[in-house]
Chains A and B, each alone.
Chain A
């Protein structure tokens, strides 16, 4: 009850602060004061506050920080000196020609791919919606096939079919490729592959729009005496223009960001994305990679902003929102209809041929030379690649619910709540998936190779703010807890630092007095932290009111136990791995060691992440703690949380599996956010208010009303996320480690070593995993996901 009141008060006050601002003339100082005040008031609505904080922290650490690091790194040498070296190359005589040529090819590729795939997408959409093509479902499914396959699948089979030893080019057309003869490798090859790979998204966007055009508008034009062609030109096309522009821009960005196709089929042509890839993987020059990334980022970002703030506002159709249920209008002129149908069918046949080729290629001994069928490639795949298959699937699956939940939370905040920075949260959550994956990957290396202390400190401070807001209404007591708790925590973290780390930490001078503290082993240290938590758990039996006693005790015990489990679990997983390695057979050892690694992964999250989580949980615990000993308990609890946060090198994640999980999550976040936003916006707020007015609190309402209603979109988001994780290449190519190999990166290296058939076998396995997962989720979700599948993909 007490809590409820506080929440309501907070609500009212927030409204009022935002009002008082409107009255005063806006100055940056006034606005800053207001933000801080609002932030403080926000703390009284715990659910909203934690939601905003966690979303904000995630976005700050895994989207904003990496991007900022990429942008700045381009201007600094590894030694830290300011340098425009790589930007200057565009004007240096020795380099300029090559650099401009690459830029020229890149833009040419982007524009032509965008043109081609938008046109193809339109033709498909028009054929499906207006030409009454038979087997509509099949057409739809086939058109979407490229979106669920690895990014270079098309390039792979294009080489098998049309390459120098290609089935069509050599065996059917009997072409001989000497020097100077145009082959599939090169810009035309890239564009061909990209068009096939990306047009499905344009198709989905335009199909959605075409379906929503009210037939009565065209009928109105017809009744006014317009001819069919005139109607198309003056009514249909203008209504589609925003969609066409959106599709074009999206295709342009996708093309520029694409890494797989240019690497595979680019031949002598280098585009920006491959140039960056070479700079990082081949030359190990992070500055060059970052500088070129900025060049790539500029057009991408421009298009992203253009799309978001200009094109989307120009849409006429989205305004009415409702898909018309009325009878669709079909093209009646047989010539037009059959031309469209014939063209679509031809493209579909091509797609089918490309995919059959991948499959046939995977079971052919040596493509083009020895065409006997056998399964040796699959044997090799499971022998050499089993670990990659297992770890990719596991990490993708692990990131899937994360992206889904994060998407729902962000969408809920954006659609239903009012707070400063809402627009920024919305924008940033989309940005992480919109920038080219290579850029994000480089950003992750730059951001997480060392501990990003600054960002960790900011996130800690924000969460600690939530923590102390539960302590007492008196500001002095709150700051006392914050100061003493954080100091004790840092002192405790200091115990984990070795001499080198102590030297490098920026607040060395602040903690100068602490240098005498001995360095502790991780195990010892964890026992101390868990000991404090256990002591607090025991104390809670005495000092917490009866009503909340059980909850607080169990929570604290769980926190202590989970902390220890990262050590204890090794007693299970180590023997398991050793036992597994001794097992005979070619597959079993890999499977068992992988399982051991997965278990470790679940029990050993980065301590900083644990520290953040415990700080939030601690806020709730302190709120339930008895008033008399609350301050003391809060100090100790915050100290442990702070110590965990700053233990060792917080968030130095490069080389770990978590960085891959984070990259996956960020990449699929826009889709889950957008799917959830779309479905939340369709839910009348009155439905939630009805639940509230009948006595349901916020939590009850969300669980019983909102969640069931957005479930279909949520599941569609999960399916899309998993697919995107499994098939993503550019974002994780720099993040894989020997311990956590990733399938797409592995396929790429197989191709480079010339094993086209082996790469094809890998691709088939990957597509099979994705299809199985979709099938499973589809089975689980019943028929619900179909309708939402398109909204999810459509946004791109």
Chain B
């Protein structure tokens, strides 16, 4: 499965939860598949999906899911020790690991070669790290959201993209709509 197929499959699971979605194609795909006020789309700032989602999870009680990518996590590896050492049960980090920088033309990442992000997360002190194959993600994600324990999911999948438009919604509108959903 490629990332857009995974997002289609998990859309019903994440629909009612706060989601911070990674820059570029992941946000564009989620926006096209199932736009929700509970989705925060990153239009820039590669690497910070996990940090934004984690700050949100620490600041309030609702479940938060950060959708990140292997390339983006590699950009901000310092995020994993911070998350591990300040764990909060309402947070789930979903790393869609297709072994490539999808938004920039599928250049390979080191996560697709020798580096295991699941092993990195574990070494950083994250207690619940699950590596899962794309077709098995749904139930794993559902139980992570339902659980009181913070979970890091590394979902291995194929690289590949679909053609779709950029998000033209104004960033302040995205942010305001999202904050109203957080408060609701």
Q: Do A and B come from one complex?
A: no
Interface positions of B (Cβ within 8 A of A): none
Interface positions of A (Cβ within 8 A of B): none
